[in-house]
Structure 1
Amino acid sequence: MTEQAADAAVDQACRLLRLPTIRAEFGEIADTAAREQMSYRAFLAEMLMAECDDRARRRSERRIKAAGFPRDKSLRAFDFDANPGIDPAAIHTLATCEWVKKGLPLCLIGDSGTGKSHLLIALGTEAAMAGYRVRYTLAAKLVNELVEAADDKVLVKTIARYGRVDLLCIDELGYMELDRRGAELLFQVLTEREETNSVAIASNDSFGSWTKTFTDPRLCAAIVDRLTFGGNILETGTDSYRLARTRAQADRTA
């Protein structure tokens, strides 16, 4: 078989077997193998590892996209120097996703501009990259969806859908007051996930102030219990990083 015929045969086989990475990189890998005098086994291993690595990358990208994050945020981009109240070691420990594996909750509490949403999205992204199913939503959006599902008689199905993901990230909890019905529906989602799948929340209010969001004290206490039992609570502080950066830029301009 000539090299041209061999290349054509490899191309056709890769199409049939759905091996797009080997199909795209076969020529380059083959040339490298010839230069470095690789054994047949090493050459085959290089091709298979390239395909496996690329498939893993594509799976991660699909999980991150399915999570519905509003923007890209990474731990590498987080400025720990500008947020001295946040322990880098604690964040990097969370990035191992052991808490997601155990189904434990995570609460990020702090004022606006202190990095809560950045950390929530970044840790959710780490979980997606580690192979976990992740879903991000705003608290108000989730409650509105649950209310509509209840009105349309598909509440059980909707709660089950949120119950299946490994990590549910709820942002901006506490920004809006919830009526009793909305709070009860949110409680059902949390109960569905209790001690089985993780919930991570970001809130601008301390737990003591949550009665402004959940006006029923008993329901508020039950929700706090669901979100804190056995989990991690991180306080991001009160000094706005965004405000400080804006002021610093204004000073430099002046």
Structure 2
Amino acid sequence: MTTTTTSEKDAGSQIAYLARVLKTPTITRVFEDLAETARDQAWSHEEYLAAVLARQVAEREESGARIRIGGAHFPQLKTLEDFTMDHQPSLRRDILAHLATCTFIPKAENVVLLGPPGVGKTHLAIGLGLKAAHAGYPVLFDTATGWLARLQQAHATDGLDKELKKLRRYKLLIIDEIGYIPFDATAANLFFQLIAARYEQGSLLVTSNMPFGRWGEIFGDDIVAAAMIDRLVHHAEVLTLSGDSYRTRARRELLKTTTTNTMSTK
């Protein structure tokens, strides 16, 4: 271990003071240990400074990501890395990998995930939302019914325009489960205003169990549905998922395993 000189101790005290003034707690915590490593490994001044600042930035970014994830209101945390791609052989891995870079968000582009229930749409939506949060983008998640309740409340108090403007601070809005419950004309109009307000201004990630050809049934109006789809897909990546429900498959595999075990004990 290298002996610390008096001048180095004085410099350390000054760094600790300056770090407190700058409100950089990570630097306060790590600069001494990194200084010892720097002396042992003969780092240059630039290498030492870069190491200290990198630790501060990394922890600040991680703290920011935790705040953004908490504010996104995800129903649960599911990562893209945990998604079983083998269950979706038709899902192009290169497109998903590109979406995971979140480069579509600063361009205000959209993502649409279509497919029957239980094929992983919500998992992918949350996974992409987490990637966005870690990349520094504010995200907000809700189901279609949850978004409708939010819009209806704002509309009832003549605050819809204000609410739509407030939502602009979220770079990515996730609307999950469009199609499970049909909406009336008023609801369709509110959804249209949300999508129109985001058009070329902010990204949307939408999941639906219904193909676009049946969105007129969801919103009770083919014209409004077509207008929504037109704005939604103009700058969008549309991914169609297929296959059996994960839950149905898991239940079938469980029953198969149980039956096999039962037969083997006889």
Q: What is the TM-score with the length of structure 2 in the denominator?
A: 0.88
Structure 2 counterparts to residues 97-246 of structure 1, below 5 A: 97-246=102-251
Shift of 1:228: 1.6
Residue 248 (structure 1) aligns with: 253
Q: What is the TM-score with the length of structure 1 in the denominator?
A: 0.92
Distance 2:65 2:167 in 1: 20
Q: Which has the larger radius of gyration?
A: 2
Residues 248/20 of structure 1: CA separation in 2 closer, same or farther (3 Å cut): same
Q: Which amino acid aligns with 2:196?
A: T
Q: Which amino acid aligns with 2:66?
A: E
Q: Which amino acid aligns with 2:225?
A: C
Question: Is 18-27 or 106-115 further displaced after alignment?
Answer: 18-27
Which of 5, 11, 33 matches 1:28?
Answer: 33
Distance 1:48 1:40 in 2: 12
Shift of 1:74: 1.1
Distance 1:240 1:161 in 2: 36
Residues 38/230 of structure 1: CA separation in 2 closer, same or farther (3 Å cut): closer
Shift of 1:70: 1.6
Describe the superposition over 1:163-208 as per-residue Cα deviations: whole angstroms up to 9, x where unpaired.
3322111001111111111110111111111122211100011112
Distance 2:258 2:15 in 1: 60
Describe the superposition over 1:76-97 as per-residue Cα deviations: whole angstroms up to 9, x where unpaired.
1110012222121121111122
Kindly indicate whether the alpha-carbon contact (under 8 Å) linking 2:114 and 2:239 is maintained by their aligned counterparts in 1: yes
Shift of 1:71: 1.2
Residue 86 (structure 2) aligns with: 81
Distance 1:181 1:76 in 2: 39
Q: Which amino acid aligns with 1:184?
A: N
Kindly indicate whether the alpha-carbon contact (under 8 Å) linking 2:148 and 2:191 is maintained by their aligned counterparts in 1: yes
Kindly indicate whether the alpha-carbon contact (under 8 Å) linking 1:116 and 1:236 is maintained by their aligned counterparts in 2: yes
Residue 262 (structure 2) aligns with: none
Residues 3/105 of structure 1: CA separation in 2 closer, same or farther (3 Å cut): closer
RMSD: 1.9
**Structure 1: runs of 5 or more not aligned:** none
Shift of 1:102: 1.9
Distance 2:219 2:46 in 1: 63
